[in-house]
A and B are shown apart, each in its own frame.
Chain A
Amino acid sequence: MKAYQSDLAKIKASDSVVFGISTDSPPANAAFAKQIGVTFPLLSDMNRKVLTEYGILKKYPMGGDSYEWARRTTFVIDKQGRIKHIEFDESAINPNTAVAICTGLGPKK
């Protein structure tokens, strides 16, 4: 989330907004945002409805049990509400492609 915060000026300049989304509660996300200095909204999908609908609810095995949290994924949605870009896992942590798409330059080569 810190990387997206670093690019927030570029994101705003491209007439875009960014939201973080996880299964954490709003107070947990507020504490997290404060700790890492994130000023854009972090959203709480506590009942995992959005994660299920977006198909990115992932099982994480831990201590013989398994827990369902988000797969690290980034979606870019244009002004018409259409999905322009989907990125997963390690690649999704880096906001460069998402920001480039928002600024209308396309993915970096």
Chain B
Amino acid sequence: MMRLATVLAGCLAFFLLAARVPAAPQQKDVMAETNLKVGQMAPDFTLPSDQQTSVKLSDYRGKKNVILAFYILAFTPG
């Protein structure tokens, strides 16, 4: 009985391990780690808006705090 349990546990461990292996490189691939740090100057940019204007980040320097909310795609929640 004990031996059967050991074999079953071994099989389970093998399958769990096998299932994890292909996921590992993909996991690494999807990470996006910024090198920017708190205290650094935010890189400037000019981008077109949905309101037919363009927005230049440095235009707000000395005037306003800026929140940049990056989102994955339009029509997605969050």
Contact = CB atoms under 8 A, between A and B. Distances in A.
Do the two chains bind?
A: yes
B3 interface: no
Interface residues of B, number: 45
Kindly state the interface size class of chain A when it binds its partner. Answer: 35 or more
B51 A30 contact: yes
Contact of A57 (B29, B32, B55): B32
A72 B78 contact: yes
Interface in A40-63: 41-45, 49-51, 53-61
Interface in A2-61: 4, 11, 14-24, 26-33, 35, 41-45, 49-51, 53-61
Contacts of A102: 65, 67
Determine chain B's interface SS by DSSP, over half rule: loop
A109 interface: no
A72 B70 contact: yes
B36 interface: yes
Contact of B33 (A31, A50, A53, A55): A55
Determine chain A's interface SS by DSSP, over half rule: mixed
Given A41-B53, A44-B47, A22 B72 contact: yes
A20 B69 CA distance: 5
A19 B34 contact: no
Interface of A: 1, 4, 11, 14-24, 26-33, 35, 41-45, 49-51, 53-61, 66, 69-86, 92-93, 95, 98-99, 102
